[in-house]
Amino acid sequence: MMEKAKQCLECGSKEVGQGQFKDYAVMRPVGKLFSLGSPVIADVCLNCGLVLNLRVQQPYKFKKKV
């Protein structure tokens, strides 16, 4: 599947890079006290610096066990 081209809503630039929160900046699932969570990846406009979106690298860690 081809990824949709990303464009900055602030300045219109299509130059988008990625960054990652490091060290203790992880997202942890609500209600899972002992989960190590997942790193967070950000798409960032390389022209004006606007963060376009955030997503966890390991979404499976947020699924509820049945």
Q: What tens digit of pLDDT does each residue of 51-64 get?
A: 999 998 888 888 87
The Cα 16–Cα 51 span in angstroms is 9
Is the pTM value of this prediction over 0.75?
no
Q: What tens digit of pLDDT does each residue of 7-62 get?
A: 999 999 999 999 998 777 777 777 776 777 888 899 999 999 999 999 988 888 88
Question: Do the beta carbons of residue 50 and residue 11 sit within 8 Å?
Answer: yes
DSSP secondary structure string for all residues of 1-60: -PPPPP--TTT----EEEEE--TT-EE--TT-TT---EEEEEEEETTT--EEEEEES-GG
